[in-house]
Chains A and B, each alone.
Chain A
């Protein structure tokens, strides 16, 4: 611990000192719990209100939703907007289907290839120290490369490879973008496994491949689940690649449909809120079910 008595200078420290003074003042009036709980409540309302507004909007009539001043709570709820969206824009069935296919396909591919590569580089020796060179490369690629950099040449490449406007094209592109992410989430898990595990399994009569599937994979299951969760969310939400590499209902996903929903006249908010809710609902439900893992995933790499 530092021995000098004066705190060092710096913006951060000055800020902390300011916060500390406010804290002491509040403390002397016994107001600390009131203020902290108040701020927490404000944070909750600020975070949830926009979501509430869209979901409740999907259950209102247009005039009710766009009333001035806004009606925070509606008394005339209706589910009629939901069938209306699909009646007016039947393509939404296809957008939904494309989104599901692309998400599932790219997640499976990314997790499979990413897991195998991470295990390979962590556990085997390579000539010329390839492992040392490739693992950081695998990890760094997407974390720093802005996707717009690759998507423009990729459009030209897809054009010649007949991959434009196909679900397969999106599956491959999303898998490519998520592999480094999977590696980033998994490498800690694999590095923590003792080296002797595979050797012991081999002595027990497993093949090396068998040991990988039967012994190693179950041991890194938490990492696999976390990587899968994040890949699913990334793929379901992606817009840039989808909007550039697809052009009609053959392969367009929900985010593309949402981003190009506006007609030449006006936004049909009563229907757009339905579409938005449909795009949000699966990830929100999914996130709620795996919230512990998600929380750990977001803060992982940070705290471990």
Chain B
């Protein structure tokens, strides 16, 4: 097919080259597709098979759909979904709300804006594992956070060991790490509003409020949807912070879905159950994706 077939002829090297040229589209694309097939499609297929087995000390046993029935009828799976949903709700609303607010503040006449943007990158590039440790240190009994809240609480707070507080103590590090992402993206959108558009609106006699709604908002609306999607997906897969800070405890109060699956597979050795949960989570993720794809026009 290539233009060379006619122009280059002869030796062995040329023939190899010709072959490469003729099949270039496949040579370029197939390796990546093969890796993806091996690491995404095959594992999902394997999970489908595993989900039909029960694992115990004696080996594995075919149980058909028993895992599905057990998981869907017992409370633990729903409980961990509920905990994930709560984590998602608090983290995402705080991150998006605070993030947008800070973006608006930084978009006004603030000194050292460039420097502040660079500082916003700091939490984003740190490993979630290290972020968890940063906060564990702040949560130390009698540590920095305790001394901040002591006037209100009359003493140290059992941040990570009280089942009614621990989930919020996990939300905070996530908010610390991810709020700057929202701020940076929305701020970039705000700064992409051309000055002349603002000025034209002002000439038209539009007040600040009208300019905000009619001029600025259209520029950032899509971005707000984008960060919302990014953070919903991001919080759904939270693992490192939970693993380091609470391991799902105390009393399973922070056992988010990925932690529950980890425990099922690697504490109890029940890969069948864990695979079943994985597939159910996959369905949920697909549903969320589909919902977002239909309501928004954001391109990924």
Q: Which residues of A are in contact with B by a Cβ distance under 8 Å? A: 1-2, 7-8, 12-13, 16-17, 19-20, 23-24, 32-33, 36-37, 39-40, 43-44, 46-51, 53-54, 57, 66, 68-70, 113-114, 116-117, 119-121, 124-126, 134, 136-141, 143-157, 172-173, 175-177, 179-180, 183-184, 202, 207-209, 233, 236-240, 243-244, 255, 258-259, 267, 269, 272-273, 276, 279-280, 283-284, 286-288, 291, 294-295, 298-299, 301-303
Contacts and interface: CB of A to CB of B under 8 A. Distances in A.
Contacts of B254: none
Nearest to B102: A43
A259 B245 CA distance: 9
Contacts of A301: 226, 299-300
A36 B105 contact: yes
B161 to A, nearest CB: 14
A209 B24 CA distance: 8
B196 interface: no
A291 B115 CA distance: 10
Given A44-B116, A179-B32, A143 B185 contact: no
Nearest to B146: A68
B77 interface: no
Q: Is the interface of B mostly helix, strand, loop or mixed?
A: helix
A51 B126 CA distance: 10
B294 interface: no
B244 interface: yes
A67 to B, nearest CB: 9
Interface in B126-146: 126-138, 140, 142-144
Given A116-B32, A279-B130, A184 B118 contact: no
Given A36-B110, A255-B240, A302-B188, A141 B286 contact: no
A69 B147 contact: yes
19 contacts: A43-B102, A53-B144, A121-B29, A124-B29, A137-B36, A139-B300, A149-B47, A150-B44, A154-B39, A155-B271, A157-B42, A207-B21, A269-B140, A273-B137, A283-B127, A286-B125, A291-B118, A298-B184, A299-B189
A279 B36 CA distance: 29
Contact of B122 (A70, A119, A287): A287
A209 B21 contact: yes
Given A36-B105, A70-B143, A259-B243, 14 more contacts: A19-B104, A47-B120, A50-B176, A51-B134, A116-B32, A120-B25, A120-B26, A120-B28, A157-B42, A172-B39, A176-B36, A237-B130, A258-B133, A302-B223
A74 B285 CA distance: 48
Contacts of B165: none
Contacts of A239: 127-129, 239-240, 243
A117 B147 contact: no
Nearest to B230: A143
Contact of A36 (B29, B109, B176): B109
Given A48-B122, A176-B40, A179-B35, A153 B50 contact: yes
B9 interface: no
Contacts of B208: 20, 23-24
Interface in B161-181: 176, 180-181
B250 interface: no
A272 B278 contact: no
B72 interface: no
B271 A152 contact: yes
B122 A43 contact: no
B117 interface: yes
B185 A298 contact: yes
A120 B176 CA distance: 40
A269 to B, nearest CB: 7
B296 interface: no
Nearest to A179: B32
Contacts of B282: 145-146, 149
Contacts of A37: 110-111
Contacts of A134: 29, 33
A183 B300 CA distance: 10
